[in-house]
């Protein structure tokens, strides 16, 4: 088994910058061409009257490409070095085929951007540089080709490097510059003697040092369901490929969008059962529970739940022949789902020549700009910078099925961002046994699943530690609430959500807590009748209070003042714990 890592490299440049020739030279110099392929290219070169073998024909696979001597489709070529297996994507230079450059760059570990030393930098070169930055390609090599046409002059190379750095400086790309002559072979697989002033790596040496981008494996687990498999009544599995992250047998998972939870019972790979899988593995999973999942549903970890959005901000490159403007109806293709949507607004348009943005009413073919979409169904789209696998979309014309644009989700303010930036102090009040502690724990688990900092301040826990010096008379109860409210206020000021579970029987005590915490205070009355809490009596306290063993027990020998106007009422006698959580979560977060 070949254990050398696979490195994906996209090659882009303007028309006639020499991309296909460069890749053909690389394949030729590394002995990566079959004899019959080379013979066919030599015959084609002779037939067209060329003096030397046209190595560009090795990657121009379509008949139209050879006839016009241009690249139209993305041509993928594979070759190996002693350390790497390299997959090259030769993308078109013509503006009308810019969408194919997007395709090649979307999964690339590195990009090679070609410039023609004799022509300099073109607008299409800058457009490709921007797309490379937009798609977060981690390494970028700028190959200044055709150095033979400028006499292998160091000053000519230096001028292009300086100009390119100045024009794309705002993109903060990780740039490396390389002077090459694809036609002559200088600095491709071996050094030539005509540029002794260059002391950096050759193209082949550069490729051999690229490490695969492992961000997909390091990202949160995302497994879109491709197919439900039910060959018989005793087996129910779900097939697909995790697009990011990893997971093991026995770990808990949550289904998006339903929110149902289960655990991984088994993972079946291409060679049999396995204990663990990661991004890129073709698998079938079994769950511990009988859950009906459908194509497009997604399995995630309960503590790594993505935001599910219907209003989406995108940066797009328009690739179709139809303009994008407010009101345009489209289909959003995201992973395995297609959802109807409408362009709500066009925010701006990029001017590639200056890298500046300007106001725009519409985006035309090859324009790059930012838009706002409103989808008919909420989708688990994440910012592209957080997860390249779930942050990309394609927009389709529903009338013609034409691809209109490709784009990435930008730095949108998701509901989880809003929750994190606007902490609350949620004060759960109610009789002992009403369910305050249970609901507070469930609420904190829900916030943690959204990566929101949170903490529980439970009355029983506080009484056993910080407030163990306090009694249960009115003065002691009031001081208990004052201290708790002060701690909650301090935690909230540091961005932490605080869920307080205290009986707090008197209205004056709850008003004291509200006055200390301020406008972020939420009073949630956990309602349950005295008969029901006495029936539950999980700690036997009501039995002891009714027998006279406990004195000053709220609801029996001490009053509980029902809130007159709480922010929300949760009836635990009428609702299940899950329904209580949904009601509270919906009120607090939406």
Question: Where exactly are the structural domains of the chain?
Answer: 6-212, 216-300, 309-409, 425-589
Annotated binding-site ranges for ATP: 430-437
The Cα 307–Cα 447 span in angstroms is: 12
* Tokens found for residue 510: 């709850």
Q: pLDDT at position 50, please? A: 73
Angle at 280 between CA 278 and CA 286, to 5 degrees: 60
Residue 270 has what pLDDT?
92
- Which helix (H) or strand (E) element contains residue 583? helix 577-588
Strand 392-396 to 324-325 pairing: unpaired
pLDDT at 447: 86
Fold of the domain spanning 425-589: Rossmann fold (3.40.50)
- Other Cβ atoms less than 10 A from the Cβ of 200: the count is 11
Determine the Cα–Cα distance for residues 414 and 308; give it in Å rounded to an integer.
8
- For residue 20 the two structure tokens come to 């296909």
Check for a shared fold between 309-409 and 425-589. Answer: no
SS (H, E, C) 353-412: CCCEEECCCEECCCCEEEEEEEEEEEECCCCCCCCCCCCEEEEECCCCCCEEEEEEECCC
Give binding residues as ranges: 430-437
What is 309-409's CATH number?
A: 2.40.30.10
Strands 261-269 and 272-274: antiparallel
CATH superfamily of this structure's domain 216-300: Translation factors (2.40.30.10)
Q: Known catalytic residues?
A: 504
Question: How many whole angstroms separate alpha carbon 454 and alpha carbon 498?
Answer: 6
Residues 220/300, Cβ–Cβ less than 8 Å: yes
In this prediction, residue 42 carries a pLDDT of: 78
* Dist CA 283 CA 245 (whole Å): 14
3-state helix, strand, coil in the chain (%, to 5): 30, 30, 40
Write the CB contacts of 103 (distance below 8 Å, at least 6 apart in sequence): 74, 89, 91, 406
What confidence score (pLDDT) does residue 589 get? 76
Q: Which of 220, 294, 229 is nearest to 260 (CA)?
A: 294
The pLDDT of residue 119? 93
pLDDT at 558: 87
Structure tokens at 103: 């395709």
Work out the burial of residue 548: count CB atoms within 10 Å of its CB; fewer than 13 is exposed, 13-18 middle, 19 or more buried. exposed
- Cα(392)–Cα(216) distance, rounded to whole angstroms? 13
Task: Please report how the helices 123-134 and 154-168 are oriented relative to each other, as an axis angle in degrees rounded to 10.
Answer: 50
Predicted local confidence at residue 68, as pLDDT: 44
Provide block-wise average pLDDT over 10 residues at a time, the chain (590 residues).
86 83 85 77 73 68 43 68 87 65 84 94 91 91 96 96 93 93 91 92 93 83 95 92 95 90 95 94 95 92 84 90 93 94 94 89 92 91 88 93 91 56 90 92 85 87 85 86 94 92 93 93 94 89 87 86 92 89 82
Tell me how far apart the alpha carbons of residues 411 and 434 are, in angstroms, rounded to a whole number: 42
Nearest to 498 by CA among 463, 459, 457, 467: 457
Angle between helix 98-105 and 123-134 (nearest 10): 30
Q: What is the pLDDT of residues 222-281, one digit of tens each?
A: 999 999 999 888 899 999 999 999 999 999 999 998 888 999 999 999 999 999 999 999
In the chain, the N- to C-terminal Cα span, in Å, equals 51
CATH number of 6-212: 3.40.50.300
pLDDT confidence of residue 96: 59
CA–CA separation, 253 and 246 (whole Å):
12
Q: Output 416-420 pairs: Cβ under 8 A, ≥24 positions apart.
A: 416/307, 416/450, 416/451, 416/452, 419/447, 419/450, 419/452, 419/497, 419/589, 420/451, 420/452, 420/453, 420/495
Tokens of 542: 């009501």
């Amino acid at each position: 088994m070949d254990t050398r890592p696979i490195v994906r490299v996209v090659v882009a440049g303007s028309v006639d910058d020499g991309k296909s020739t460069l890749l053909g030279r690389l394949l030729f110099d590394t002995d990566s061409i079959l004899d019959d392929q080379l013979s066919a290219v030599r015959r084609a070169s002779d037939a067209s009257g060329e003096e030397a073998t046209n190595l560009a024909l090795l990657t121009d696979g379509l008949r139209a490409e050879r006839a016009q001597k241009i690249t139209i489709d993305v041509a993928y070529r594979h070759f190996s070095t002693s350390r790497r297996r390299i997959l090259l994507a030769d993308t078109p230079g013509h503006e009308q085929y810019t969408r194919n450059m997007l395709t090649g760059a979307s999964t690339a570990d590195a990009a090679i951007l070609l410039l023609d030393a004799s022509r300099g930098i073109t607008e299409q070169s800058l457009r490709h540089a921007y797309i490379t930055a937009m798609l977060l390609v981690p390494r970028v090599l700028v190959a200044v080709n055709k150095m033979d046409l400028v006499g292998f002059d160091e000053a000519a190379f230096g001028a292009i490097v300086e100009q390119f750095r100045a024009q794309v400086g705002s993109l903060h790309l990780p740039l490396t510059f390389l002077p090459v002559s694809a036609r002559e072979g200088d600095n491709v697989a071996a050094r030539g003697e005509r540029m002794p002033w260059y002391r950096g790596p050759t193209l082949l040496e550069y490729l051999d040092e690229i490490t695969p981008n492992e961000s997909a494996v390091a990202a949160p687990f995302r497994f879109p369901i491709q197919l439900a498999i039910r060959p018989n009544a005793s087996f129910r599995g779900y097939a697909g490929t995790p697009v990011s992250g990893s997971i093991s047998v026995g770990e808990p998972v949550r289904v998006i969008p339903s929110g149902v939870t289960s655990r991984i019972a088994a993972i079946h790979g291409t060679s049999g059962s396995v204990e663990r899988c990661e991004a890129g593995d073709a698998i079938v999973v079994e769950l511990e529970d009988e859950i009906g999942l459908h194509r497009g549903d997604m399995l995630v970890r309960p503590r790594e739940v993505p935001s599910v959005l219907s209003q989406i901000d995108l940066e797009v490159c328009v690739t179709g022949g139809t303009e994008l403007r407010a009101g345009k109806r489209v289909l959003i293709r995201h992973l395995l789902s297609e959802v109807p949507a409408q362009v709500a607004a066009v925010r701006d348009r990029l001017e590639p020549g200056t890298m500046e943005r300007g106001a725009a009413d519409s985006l035309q073919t090859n324009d790059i700009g930012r838009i706002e979409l409103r989808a008919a169904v909420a989708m688990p789209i994440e910012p592209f910078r957080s997860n390249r696998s779930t942050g990309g979309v394609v927009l389709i014309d529903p009338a013609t099925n034409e691809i209109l644009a490709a784009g990435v989700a930008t730095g949108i303010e998701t509901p989880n961002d809003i929750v994190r930036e606007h902490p609350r102090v949620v004060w759960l009040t109610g009789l002992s046994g009403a369910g305050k502690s249970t609901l507070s724990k469930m609420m904190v688990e829900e916030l943690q699943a959204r990566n929101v900092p949170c903490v529980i301040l439970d009355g029983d826990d506080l009484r056993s530690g910080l407030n163990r010096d306090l009694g249960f008379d009115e003065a002691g109860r009031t001081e208990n609430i004052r201290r708790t409210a002060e701690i909650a206020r301090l935690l909230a000021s540091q961005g932490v959500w605080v869920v307080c579970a205290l009986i707090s029987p008197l209205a004056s005590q709850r008003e004291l807590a509200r006055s200390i915490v301020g406008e972020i205070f939420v009073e949630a009355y956990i309602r349950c009748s005295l008969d029901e809490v006495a029936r539950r009596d999980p700690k036997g306290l009501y039995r002891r209070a009714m027998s006279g063993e406990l004195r000053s027990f709220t609801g029996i020998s001490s009053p509980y003042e029902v809130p007159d106007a709480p922010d929300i009422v949760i009836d635990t006698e009428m609702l299940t714990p899950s329904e209580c959580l949904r009601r509270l979560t919906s009120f607090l977060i939406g």
